[in-house]
């Protein structure tokens, strides 16, 4: 199966040229040292992806670190100890921690939503003090969006021209329109998340006086008459005295005549 899906070196060069033409960053994943050499020296990749199955491939990790490139370390099928050992290997061979992004991953095609454990993204970031991302094999686009909310800075997602094509990965992949929808949704997240403050937005400032209420006359009130629960009520808009001052108004004398629904200005 793998032999039938294999891309030759000339295919990589052809794809590389096409990516340059379309201004897309070219990236391919090496599963052995020879392939890594080819990608670095011939394809001039500036990022190295370590797939989940190679996280315990010490010789490959050492070689990858020696190139001093940015590294994406995928962690499917891994324990925290596996991740720690891989990170130590990379660091000990010259790769700086700031240049490593650890990708949380569940290796199953498609991955069961119950097994995604996206909260692990925060755990990995806190435990290892690294940049984090998410390599997704679930159906749809919801998991990558949630992962971004958990701090994922890199999202890896399979995509295809047609989910009905032959091969193991197509059913768990996104078609172009879905990929576009996922990317656009992720781009909106930082806009929606905002900052860790609670304040009025500009639109809320405009709506505040309309949506909130003021103390108004429930019925006609004559000047000198005492304000009571029976002659006052609360209605929109909020241009007048806030209902939070209800008990400060009760018991006072009206300084003027008020018609029904007129805002109290005492």
Domain ranges of the chain: 46-193, 202-249
- Taking alpha carbons only, the member of 6, 12, 5 closest to residue 28 is 12
151: Cβ–Cβ under 8 A, 6 or more apart, which residues?
Answer: 121, 122, 125, 132
Query: pTM of this prediction?
Result: 0.86
User: What is the 8-class DSSP label of residue 135?
Assistant: E
Please return the burial class of 244, using the count of CB atoms within 10 Å of its CB with bins 0-12, 13-18 and 19+. Answer: exposed
- Mean pLDDT, the chain, whole residue set: 96
Contact call for residues 155 and 134 (beta carbons, < 8 A):
yes
Residue 172: per-residue pLDDT: 87
- pLDDT tens digits along 136-187: 999 999 999 999 999 999 999 999 999 999 888 898 899 999 999 999 999 9
Mean pLDDT of 211-220: 98
Beta-carbon-side half-sphere exposure of residue 98 (alpha carbons within 13 Å): 0
What integer pLDDT is reported at residue 266 of this predicted model? 83
Weakest-pLDDT range from 104-108, 191-195, 244-248: 191-195
Fold of 46-193: TIM Barrel (3.20.20)
């Amino acid at each position: 199966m793998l032999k039938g899906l294999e891309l030759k070196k000339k295919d990589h060069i052809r794809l590389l040229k096409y990516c340059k033409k379309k201004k897309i960053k070219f990236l391919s994943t090496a599963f052995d040292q020879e392939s890594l050499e080819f990608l670095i020296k011939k394809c001039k990749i500036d990022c190295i992806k370590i797939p989940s199955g190679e996280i315990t491939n010490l010789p490959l990790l050492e070689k990858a670190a020696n190139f001093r490139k940015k590294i994406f370390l995928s962690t499917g099928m891994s324990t925290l100890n596996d991740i720690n050992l891989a990170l130590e290997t990379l660091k000990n061979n010259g790769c700086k921690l700031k240049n490593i992004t650890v990708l949380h991953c569940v290796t199953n095609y498609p991955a069961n939503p119950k097994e995604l454990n996206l909260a692990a993204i925060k755990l990995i970031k806190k435990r290892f003090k690294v940049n984090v991302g998410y390599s997704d094999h679930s159906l749809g686009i919801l998991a990558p969006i949630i992962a971004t909310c958990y701090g994922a800075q890199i999202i890896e997602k399979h995509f295809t021209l047609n989910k009905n094509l032959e091969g193991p990965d197509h059913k768990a992949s996104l078609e172009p329109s879905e990929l576009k929808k996922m990317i656009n949704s992720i781009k909106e997240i930082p806009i929606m998340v905002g900052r860790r403050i609670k304040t009025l937005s500009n639109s809320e400032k405009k709506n505040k006086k309309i949506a909130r209420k003021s103390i108004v006359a429930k019925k006609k009130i004559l000047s000198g008459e005492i304000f009571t629960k029976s002659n006052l009520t609360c209605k929109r808009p909020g241009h007048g005295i806030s209902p939070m001052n209800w008990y400060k108004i009760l018991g006072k004398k009206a300084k003027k005549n008020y018609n029904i629904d007129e805002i109290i200005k005492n």
